[in-house]
Amino acid sequence: MQIYLVGGAVRDGLLNYPVYDKDWVVVGATPEEMQQQGYHPVGKDFPVFIHPQSGEEYALARTERKSGKGYTGFQYHASPEVTLEEDLIRRDLTINAMAMDDRGNIIDPYHGQRDLHTKTLRHVSSAFAEDPLRVLRVARFLARYAPLGFSIAAETLTLMQQLAASDELEHLTAERVWQEFQRALSEAAPQAFLLTLKQANALAVLFPELQSAVNDPSTLTAISQPADAKVRFAILMRSAFAHLATTEQSQPIKMFCQRHRVPNAYRDLALQFSQQADQLCHYAQLDAHQRLALVKDLDLLRRQEHLPLLLEGCRLIGHDQLAVKSALPQLLQLLQQVSPKQLMQHGYKGKALGNAINEAQLTICQQQIDGQSS
């Protein structure tokens, strides 16, 4: 039995990039031997085991054969006879097809170190074109490493284009597509992910609604700045449906999020940003009625957790939000002092109570405006 560190941990270690997860390949072992040594089996399609102390994944060396559509259409073969080189050749990129033994020696049969040196994302073998998910993975790797000067090999891009021209991308599940998209939104250069999909002719297949956003240089500049992934997504959604009236943007955003299984936190922020970004970004120009409407539409008197993210979005799309950053929290603090209980003690109830609360809130909004102009 021989155990090797493989994949991303080897790649990022050589790049002096942070290593967060470690994956291991075991050569020359059977599932029974792994369990005898205390490893816990978890793999369904092929033997994967969890180390009893570290919790890290150890997979038996395996080969694979394409047997259907999509990224799940494979048959796997794991046995003690499968070599490390046979296991590594099934991987997507040469920089991911390296291994390290327990003495720190690098096993690099497919020249991953050379491609790290030349900063090239290159496929290992023609089997790359059998897995459509790799179109997204390569785009995501470029989103991570583009700031380091990486680019995609021309022949690899050609294979990605061939996959996009087939029907393979259509067999990817919404969950896996979103998983890659979400991870790309957290990388240093998410715009590289989208531009790569466009270059590979995959954007029109996977995210047709985003084509106008990707063609907008200001949107790409906005999401290229350091930001929360949810904020970047909100900016993309606002840009994607900017051709629609503000009141008409909610439904297509909801449909996009439903189709791609987007988490509610991403969806809700995108909806708020598409509806209220203009108001937030021009807060200083709003009258009292507009300021109160903004507070109510964003439900800020009860829930303020989205406000920092919304303000971050305003900053990224190029609007000076210093006024709203200080003035809006101040306004919220004053509005929360309006006491329905005190108004009820003065005889207000029912509809009259609601009107009295609204008038008191409008007065506070107007006082803020008068104070700013004096």
Whether residue 199 lies inside any domain: the answer is no
Q: pLDDT tens track of the chain, all 374 residues?
A: 899 999 999 999 999 988 888 999 999 998 889 889 899 988 666 688 999 888 898 999 888 765 455 455 446 677 888 999 999 998 999 999 999 999 999 999 999 999 999 999 999 998 898 899 999 999 999 999 999 999 999 999 999 999 999 999 999 999 999 999 999 999 999 999 999 999 999 999 999 999 999 999 999 999 999 999 999 999 999 999 999 999 899 999 999 999 999 999 999 999 999 999 999 988 989 999 999 999 999 999 988 888 999 999 999 998 766 678 888 989 999 999 998 888 888 888 899 999 999 999 999 999 999 987 65
**62 within 8 A of 29, measured Cβ to Cβ:** no
How many residues are there in the chain?
Answer: 374
Query: What are the start-end ranges of the H helices in the chain?
Result: 8-14, 31-36, 84-88, 112-118, 133-145, 154-165, 174-185, 190-199, 203-206, 211-214, 217-224, 229-240, 250-259, 264-281, 288-297, 307-316, 322-335, 340-345, 350-373
The identity of residue 32, as a single letter, is: E
Phi first, then psi: what are they for 58, rounded to 5°? -125, 115
Residue bearing tokens 């210093």: 322
The reply to whether 271 falls in a domain is: no
Domain assignment present for residue 40? The answer is: yes
Domain with residue 46: its CATH number is 3.30.460.10
Closest among 97, 95, 188 to 148, alpha carbons compared:
188
Residue 24 within a domain: yes
**Residue 26 belongs to some domain of the structure:** yes
87: in domain: yes
The model's pLDDT over 46-89, given as tens digits with 9 standing for 90+, comes to 688 999 888 898 999 888 765 455 455 446 677 888 999 999 99
Residue 208, helix vs strand vs coil: helix
In one letter, which amino acid is 231?
V
Say if 235 falls within a structural domain: no
Domains in the chain, number: 1
Domain that holds residue 81: 1-110
| Cα–Cα dist 49/69, whole Å | 27
Across the strands, what pairs with 78? 62
Q: Which residues pair with 5 in a beta bridge?
A: 24, 100
In a domain, 264, yes or no: no
